Amino acid sequence: MENNEIIQIPEDIGRLKKLESLNLAKNNLTSLPNSICELNSLKNLNLDDNNITELPEDIGKLQNLTTISLNNNNLISLPESFKNLNNLSRIQIENNPIEMMVKYLPESYIKENYKLDEPDLNEKEQYSLRILKIISKKIEYTIENGHVISINFLTNKLTQIPEEIENFLYLKKLNLNFTCLNEFPSFICNLNNLEILKISSNNLTILPDNIGNLKKLRILDLSFNKLKKLPDSIGNLSSLKVLYLENNNLEELPKNLNLKSLEKLNINNNKLKKIPQSLCNSENLKLLYCKWNLIRKLPPEISNLKELILLDLEGNQIKNLPNFKKSFSNLKNLDLRQNKLVKISSSIKSLVSLEKLYLSRNRISRLDPSFGSLNKLLICFLNNNKLKELPGEIGNLTNLKRLYLNSNELEEIPDTLGNLKNLEILMLNKNNLKRIPFSLKNLKKLKRLFVGDNPLKGVFSAMPNMNTSEKLNFLEIKSTMELNQ
């Protein structure tokens, strides 16, 4: 009956009780009569190259069926009873818009056609692992003490994950990065022993509320998705130490984001307008990355983060530093580049351990004298601002090694700059300087000095005698070398 332009099969086909082989390929069929399920002797069924959109619900009654071919149709799903075809040894179903074909396959077919040499696994985990290997061209897994403890899908285009994954009750690490997922599989939240979950670079827009069930989760990577909000339950992840949320569409964080164990948080490149006050209770937080958001001000309570070492706020809209409630006892790296700061107030003195400070590309016109109290500072970027003068107290920064003051409106430099005995790089180019203080000759460790693009009157007479700086190996007077960050 192949290639006969048949558009319909009569109901009485079910009367052919002894029929063993039926070839209906290359016709114009869109459906089959349910009576076809009464062909109890049928062993081979070929339905290739039709327009079939669904199979009869009772297809599972064909218990003697050994081969079925459904290539080149329009099937988007199969009947639940298809899993009852336990004698199937060959299934062909290419070029159909069906998703997750594996969930329709009979268990006997899976065991027979997808061998697995893992005798230590129990039957349920063996079956589940076969399912994963069917749907994934590349997969890595680790077995320990008779259980799968780690699965890595290795950038497969899956769009969906089979529910059988929740059978790995001892799973500790799951990597679903770059798998083209459109939804977060809620059954993953039943994996109570999960410690590391990576689901970056997918198309997730929302997380299930039960994500808070993952009490043992230590690392969660949700970066590079399309998340607009987070469920409040994410605050229940009591063991979470590392959370990656960068490059999403987040407009706010949960108000009760009270993650006591959190040590690292990355929320770069979102649409956040503020940092929730509750985050300031994350007493173990060490690294906080918030750059390229829409944050306008910092909560004063942020200084409660007593373990914080790095705070990156580049590319926001912050105009002023808050009056911190406490001193930042451990903060060593602060990045506020490309904000809207107009001045550095006395609150800067709270940053008692600061070693690296990035303030370039703001609108800063004034530094408070307390700026000089940052006596552990090693690197300071103040370039591309509107500074016209510097406080004399800047000379107290005796540990400073690199100072970038280029592209400001400075008309003079305080003599105290000569006290910076450890200074190795000094950039003063692109200002309004007419002279360089004689005290710079005391900078014995200076290696690179930039003074170009200044209205120096009589360049060499305006310059101090630098011969005493034996380390100096680069002096830029006429041109400008861009070393800005």
> Residue 90 burial (CB < 10 Å; 0-12/13-18/19+)?
exposed
> In the prediction, which pLDDT does 399 show?
98
- The mean pLDDT of 265-279, rounded to a whole number, is 95
- Compute the distance between CA of residue 219 and CA of residue 1 in angstroms, rounded to an integer: 59
pTM of the model: 0.85
> Residue 182 burial (CB < 10 Å; 0-12/13-18/19+)?
exposed
Closest-CA residue to 132 (of 92, 98, 174)? 174
DSSP 72-89: SS--S---GGGGG-TT--
- The mean pLDDT of 38-52, rounded to a whole number, is 95
- Compute the distance between CA of residue 139 and CA of residue 101 in angstroms, rounded to an integer: 18
The residue among 201 and 473 whose pLDDT is bigger is 201
The residue among 1 and 265 whose pLDDT is bigger is 265
What stretch(es) of the chain map to CATH 3.80.10.10? 11-110, 346-485
Instruction: Give pLDDT tens digits for 436-454.
Output: 888 998 999 999 999 999 9
| Domain 346-485 fold | 3.80.10
pLDDT at 119 over 90: no
Query: Following CA atoms 42, 47, 48, 50 in sequence, which dihedral angle do they give, to the nearest 10 degrees?
Result: 170
Please, which residues have CB within 8 angstroms of residue 458's CB and are 6 or more apart in sequence?
A: none
Instruction: Give pLDDT tens digits for 92-106.
Output: 999 998 877 888 899
> What is the three-class DSSP state of 22?
strand
> What is the three-class DSSP state of 478?
coil
Q: What is the Cα 473 distance to its own chain's centre? A: 43
Please, which residues have CB within 8 angstroms of residue 401's CB and are 6 or more apart in sequence?
A: 378, 379, 422, 423, 424, 425
pLDDT at 477 over 80: no
> In the prediction, which pLDDT does 484 show?
41
Beta bridge partners of 150: 142, 173
Instruction: Give pLDDT tens digits for 1-43.
Output: 888 889 999 999 999 999 999 999 999 999 999 999 999 999 9
Cβ pair 67, 90 in contact under 8 A: yes
Band the pLDDT of 464: cuts 50, 70, 90. low
User: Hey, what are 109's tokens?
Assistant: 């077919």
Closest-CA residue to 480 (of 379, 411, 380, 404)? 404
Band the pLDDT of 479: cuts 50, 70, 90. very low
- Cα angle 170-171-176, degrees, rounded to a multiple of 5: 165
| Domain 11-110 fold | 3.80.10
- The mean pLDDT of 41-59, rounded to a whole number, is 95
Task: Please give the mean pLDDT across all residues of the chain.
Answer: 91
Instruction: Give pLDDT tens digits for 160-181.
Output: 888 889 999 999 999 999 988 9
> In the prediction, which pLDDT does 235 show?
94
